[in-house]
Amino acid sequence: MKQVKATDKRLSHKERLIRLRRKQAIVGRGLAPFVSFTVLVLAAISLGFTQGHAEIKIVQAIPTKSFGFLPFFVAQEKGFFRSEGLEVSAPVMATGPSIAGLLSGEIHLAPADSAMRAAMTGTPVKAVIFYYDRPTMVFVARPEIRSVKDLQGKNIAILSYGSAIDFATRQIMKTNGLADKDYTLVPMGPEPQRILGMVKGLVHATLLNPDGAAIAEGQVAGLKQLASFGDLQKTPFSGFAAGDRFLAESPETVRKFLRATLRAIVLTRDQPQAAAQVAERTLALDGKVALSAARAIAGAIGTKDPGGFTDAGMRTWIADNAKNAGRKDDEIKVTDIADVGLLREAQRDLGIRCEGGYGCGK
């Protein structure tokens, strides 16, 4: 048994406490540097873990919650954004405010179609990715309309003035020999309202996504499909643009967004059934309608350059839109309205080989 020293025995309880505290202080001073270092290391590890796993908030404005933006919903539901450390929200917003948001920094991504038209007039924004290499919309009409020319003097529903639906509708009419004065465009909002307008006879035709066209067929007896916009021209469609400042200051964040979006585009192309299931859940579509529409848009996603576009396709887009921007198409360069640098990097990150697209060799 351990012997207790007499001297310790004679110490009072108070004196023993004082001695113990002195010893602890001496030991504590010796360990202080090590304790401080450990705390700093743990703090640094904790900070690094937080920074490495904190989700960066991104706002991707969309003009309407519709099937045309299916790759976005795929990226959300499959966790592609989250795997890149991004938290992406998609408020429904008119094109004007969304472009203004790009400039103020409140919006990070906005519809490319409107942004590129703004870029033609000097607004510092650039398109960075496209879901499809051609328009996916179909032009449908009430049963009494037998051809596009029959729409002379009639009402045609669009989403809103300045939207991609607006410009695409004008292009279809122009291709069929009708000028703006020959018909009336009626802004009616998202597809359900436009379909209802046809049911009630308030409008005679509208452009719809494949799912909308399938739904409309069930609501408008004898509905006619007058044209597929993708057959009229092969121009990049349903893309997104970012502000020049955001591209310059946060290239890695943009690259993360592009990687996640590319994964969603490729899944939508290669696994239309899986994409259709996402559409069922997020857009409340009937299963058969969703699958039919998913298969229809899969053909509009390029196999050689997903997310990108061809020089010819973009030059055609410029020619179609330059006049409305008060410019001559031959004075506008592709680099004035689009920047594919980070897209090409994101493709390489994912092992996607770019062939035949604009800037593939860079």
Whether 2 is in a domain gets the answer no
Residue 272, domain member (yes or no): yes
220-273, pLDDT tens digit by residue? 999 999 998 888 888 999 999 999 999 999 999 999 999 999 999 999 999 999
In a domain, 41, yes or no: yes
pLDDT digits (tens, 9 = 90+) for 160-218: 998 889 988 998 999 999 999 999 999 999 999 999 999 999 999 999 999 999 899 88
pLDDT in tens, 93-105: 998 999 999 999 9
- Give Cβ neighbours of residue 79 (< 8 Å, ≥ 6 apart): none
**pLDDT of 17 strictly over 50:** no
Quick one: how many helices (H) and strands (E) in the chain? 17, 10
Q: What is the pTM of this model?
A: 0.77
| pLDDT classification of 335: cutoffs 50, 70, 90 | very high
Q: Are residues 239 and 126 in the same domain?
A: yes
If asked whether residues 107 and 149 sit together in one domain, one would say no
User: Taking every pair of C-alpha atoms in the chain, what is the biggest distance, in angstroms?
Assistant: 117
302 and 179 within one domain:
no
**Per-chain mean pLDDT for the chain:** 87
- Answer whether residue 108 is part of any domain: yes
3-state secondary structure of 308: coil
Rounded mean pLDDT of 32-57? Answer: 43
For residues 187 and 102, membership in a common domain is answered with no
In terms of domains, do 107 and 66 share one? Answer: yes
DSSP 91: -
| Token code pair at residue 88 | 């992406």
Number of structural domains found in the chain:
3
The answer to whether residue 5 sits within a structural domain is no
What pLDDT digit, counting tens, does each position of 71-94 carry?
999 999 999 999 999 999 999 999
Residue 183, domain CATH = 3.40.190.10
Domain annotation covers residue 358? no
> Is residue 103 domain-shared with residue 246, that is, in the same domain?
yes
For residue 362, tell me if it sits in a domain: no
Query: Strands, DSSP E only, in the chain?
Result: 56-59, 86-89, 110-111, 125-132, 138-141, 155-158, 184-187, 205-208, 224-228, 237-243
The residues that bridge with 228 in the sheet, in sequence order, are: 138
- Cα separation of 166 and 95, whole Å? 12
Same domain for 259 and 113: yes
Residue 357 lies in a domain: no
- Same domain flag for 169 and 255: no
333, pLDDT greater than 80: yes
Which structural domain, as residue segments, surrounds residue 48? Answer: 15-52
Q: Are residues 37 and 121 in the same domain?
A: no
Residue 291: count of CB within 10 angstroms of its CB: 20
Q: Please tell me whether residues 210 and 321 are part of one structural domain.
A: no
Do residue 226 and residue 246 come from a single domain?
Answer: no
Note whether 206 and 120 are within 8 A (CB). no
Q: Do residues 48 and 165 share a domain? A: no
pLDDT at 37 over 60: no
pLDDT tens, position by position, 290-301: 999 999 999 999
DSSP assignment letter at 249: H
Question: Residue 168 in contact with residue 228, Cβ under 8 Å?
Answer: no
